[in-house]
Amino acid sequence: MLSARSVFEEILDNDESFQLFCSIAASGESQGGWENARIAALLPEGQRALTAKVTRHGADEDKHGRIFNALLKKRGLDPVPVPPETDYTMLLEQRGIGLTHEKLRREEPLTERDVVVYLAHSRVTEQRASDQMDMLAKYFGDHPEVGRAVTMICRDEDNHLAYCHEELLRLAAAGHGRTILDTLHECARAETRVYRDVSIAVMSHMARILGWPKPKSAALASGIQAIYGYERFGGWRRMVSLKPPERRDALGGPATSAAGFA
């Protein structure tokens, strides 16, 4: 039976597909780590209280990148180049979502609006990350090879999402509500398209590696398009709503270690 679980089991069981999967994941997490580190360094004076939390966010993302690389090393595999069409972070930036790498490479302080854009972008992308890791934890939380990694990253992503809710609500109360709402909607619309395109590209590479027959590849592509259709016509709302999180001050304190991985 074709299911998300069976597809991921195939990917995990084959060295070449596992290598590509972990390389894509490690690259995305490492980019997130760099971006958050730069944002922490460039926060405007009025938002410097966020420095420790943004730094923690970046440290967590760096840790996740090291975990995926450690999973590769444990199998005796090296990271492989990430195909451009599977680079979620780069494709979002190309569509004008989030803060550009060009801006982050400068030594100019960010504006308060930049902070709003960063947090709104993170609110949307962390929802995606949390959803994905929840699914992987459900299916593979007890997996002997990846279970501990999946569980650890899942917990971190939930913390990141809680942090975004809390800080965006704070900024909304300070008068940024309209900007937050507009930015969330813009990000969500672009993200659902990018996620669809990246998912199809990743599955195309996996189909080649695993030798999937054309009907199976077509069925998976149709499933991805169906998810996009659901998100386009209403599912996107889960990515833009804001509510006080159950986990308060989720990024207070230092980042947790990746003991046993890296």
99-126 tens-digit pLDDT: 999 999 999 999 999 999 999 999 999 9
Does position 68 have pLDDT exceeding 90, yes or no?
yes
What is the pLDDT, as a whole number, of residue 2?
Answer: 73
Give the pTM.
Answer: 0.94
Are the C-beta atoms of residues 66 and 258 closer than 8 Å to each other? yes
pLDDT digits (tens, 9 = 90+) for 137-173: 999 999 999 999 999 999 999 999 999 999 999 999 9
Does position 4 have pLDDT exceeding 90, yes or no?
no
What is the pLDDT, as a whole number, of residue 110?
Answer: 97
Which one, of 104, 100, 105, 114, lies nearest residue 183 by Cα?
114
Mean pLDDT of the chain: 94
pLDDT digits (tens, 9 = 90+) for 96-105: 899 999 999 9
Give residue 258's pLDDT band: very low, low, confident or very high (50, 70, 90).
Answer: low
Domain containing residue 122: CATH number: 1.20.1260.10
CA distances to 2, 71, 78, 133, 220 from 20, rounded to whole Å, are 21, 12, 10, 18, 18
DSSP class of residue 110 equals P
pLDDT digits (tens, 9 = 90+) for 15-41: 999 999 999 999 999 999 999 999 999
In a domain, 31, yes or no: yes
How much of the chain, in percent, has pLDDT values that exceed 90? 92
In a domain, 228, yes or no: yes
Torsion of CA 38, 40, 45, 49, to 10 degrees: 170
In a domain, 253, yes or no: no
Domain hosting 12: range is 4-239
In a domain, 262, yes or no: no
| Tally of domains within the chain | 1
In a domain, 245, yes or no: no
Burial grade of 47 (CB within 10 A; 0-12, 13-18, 19 or more): buried
- Angle at which helix 4-13 crosses helix 112-140, to 10 degrees, equals 90
